[in-house]
Amino acid sequence: MNLYSHPLAPQFESQAHLLIQIEDFVISAIKGGALMSNHYRPASAVLEMDEADRFERMIRRFLMVYQPEYRYSEHIAAFWNACVALGLLDPDCDGLSMPELYFPRWQGMDSVRHLVALLQAEARSEAFRRAGHDRTYALRQRTLVIEDYARSLIARHCKLLVVRVDLGYLAQAQHQVTIDDVYAHLGVLNRQRYLDPVFEHLVGAIWCLEQGRTRGYHLHLTYFFNGSLLQNGWHKGQAIGALWQQITGGIGWVHNCHGDEFKYPRRGIGKIHRSVPEECENLLNALTYFGEFDKEPQYLRMRPEGRRVYRTGLVPGLDCGREPRFLGGFGDDEHACA
């Protein structure tokens, strides 16, 4: 049984959004609002039963997301640890069977209050408090790595055609998509760089995988083509979008960033000439998006062990069609879900 055929699963609730709901619950518990307080008591036994039922349904849904041997952000990991301590979760089994097996141990609002206390204790741990700082550091390192990578491409090519696309999933289909599906689709797309004619004259690539409140799992990709041989970034973006739709079976969402390229010339996409410093600076400024940490948090809350959240692609100067060789991944593997 998968997450979306489980009888407790809401019809249109995605893994990405459930994880963010868990994070919101943990943040609320740590802040200790009135409802979360250990001293909170509803005015009547009926109200307490209603609240207990609401929390039970919510936590049952949350537990279905759990998978062992995955890496989790600090808020999600804290929730799993608290559930294990409370006897609601077996850390060695996937979460789909947990609600039925473990909820006889559920003790209504007493369990909620105990869960909140455990979460607050987790938040005081050194590992929890360090996680946010580690993520910020990893983002700064990512910015430096990507900037160095782009400078090396500029140094090797007098002209670059820079193509930027954002890829994700249609809102009505996000409930069908897990993080494993995203990595599988991304893997197919990356392999097509050596097979599909749309990537002819490709000399470099950067991808970054994120998780947002509205868009769920989505990708930001920048492709660098030999600008002496190609002219039109919009057509490349359209072709890459069509390939993504094919890979995802028609549930993909595509934003071709070249639709308003000429309206916003400082966006650092399209034709970049090494002899024009302003164009090169616009490109470098645009690439800082991959490492921004002051926007809405869009880091992954869950990912398979060993999988990266961003990567650069081809070695600078290598055209598509030759034996591929990849630059190493950078920085984020030392930080959970950085």
| Virtual torsion, Cα 276, 224, 234, 207, nearest 10 deg | -130
Q: Do β-strands 302-304 and 252-256 pair in parallel, antiparallel, or remain unpaired? A: unpaired
* First vs last C-alpha separation in the chain: 30
DSSP type of residue 260? T
- Lowest-confidence region among 10-14, 43-47, 110-114: 43-47
Domain boundary among 100, 124, 148: 124
Task: Give the E-state strand segments of 92-150 in sequence order.
Answer: none
Query: Are residue 203 and residue 234 in the same domain, yes or no?
Result: yes
Query: What pLDDT, in 10s, does the model give residues 29-50?
Result: 998 754 554 444 444 555 566 7
How many structural domains does the chain have? 2
In the predicted structure, residue 6 carries a pLDDT above the cut 80? no
- Lowest-confidence region among 193-197, 246-250, 311-315: 311-315
Q: How far is CA 30 from CA 33, 112, 121, in A?
A: 8, 13, 9
Query: Are residue 214 and residue 271 in the same domain, yes or no?
Result: yes
Query: Are residue 137 and residue 206 in the same domain, yes or no?
Result: yes
Query: Are residue 94 and residue 154 in the same domain, yes or no?
Result: no
Q: What is the DSSP string of 184-252?
A: HHHHHHHHGGGT-GGGTTEEEEEEEEEEETTTEEEEEEEEEEETTT---HHHHHHHHHHHHHHHTTT-E
Q: What is the DSSP string of 136-163?
A: HHHHHHHHHHHHHHHHHHHHH-SEEEEE
Provide, rounded to the nearest whole percent, the portion of the chain with pLDDT above 90: 62
What stretch of H or E contains 304? strand 302-304
Query: Are residue 255 and residue 189 in the same domain, yes or no?
Result: yes
Domain boundary among 68, 98, 124: 124
Query: Are residue 30 and residue 95 in the same domain, yes or no?
Result: yes
Domain boundary among 106, 124, 142: 124
Q: Residues near 74 by Cβ (< 8 Å), separated by ≥ 6?
A: 127, 128, 131, 132, 336
In the predicted structure, residue 128 carries a pLDDT above the cut 80? yes
Query: Are residue 109 and residue 199 in the same domain, yes or no?
Result: no
pLDDT of residue 47: 57
Query: Are residue 22 and residue 160 in the same domain, yes or no?
Result: no
Query: Are residue 138 and residue 90 in the same domain, yes or no?
Result: no
Judge whether 36 and 29 are in contact, CB under 8 Å: yes
Query: Are residue 15 and residue 50 in the same domain, yes or no?
Result: yes
pLDDT of residue 289: 77
Q: String of b and e for 22-55 (b: at least 16 CB within 10 Å)?
A: bbebbeebbeeeeebeeebeeeeeeebeebbeeb
Supply the range of the domain harboring residue 163.
132-334
Query: What pLDDT, in 10s, does the model give residues 263-320?
Result: 555 679 999 999 999 999 999 999 987 766 555 689 999 999 999 999 997 654 444 3
Check the CA dihedral 53-56-62-65 and report its sign: negative
- Count of CB atoms within 10 A of residue 153's CB? 21
Query: Are residue 116 and residue 249 in the same domain, yes or no?
Result: no
Which residue in 175, 182, 254 sits closest to 17, CA to CA? 175
Query: Are residue 137 and residue 98 in the same domain, yes or no?
Result: no
pLDDT of residue 259: 80
* Rounded-to-integer distance, Cα 159 and Cα 204, Å: 13
Coil, strand or helix at 313: coil
Judge whether 72 and 83 are in contact, CB under 8 Å: no
In the predicted structure, residue 57 carries a pLDDT above the cut 50? yes
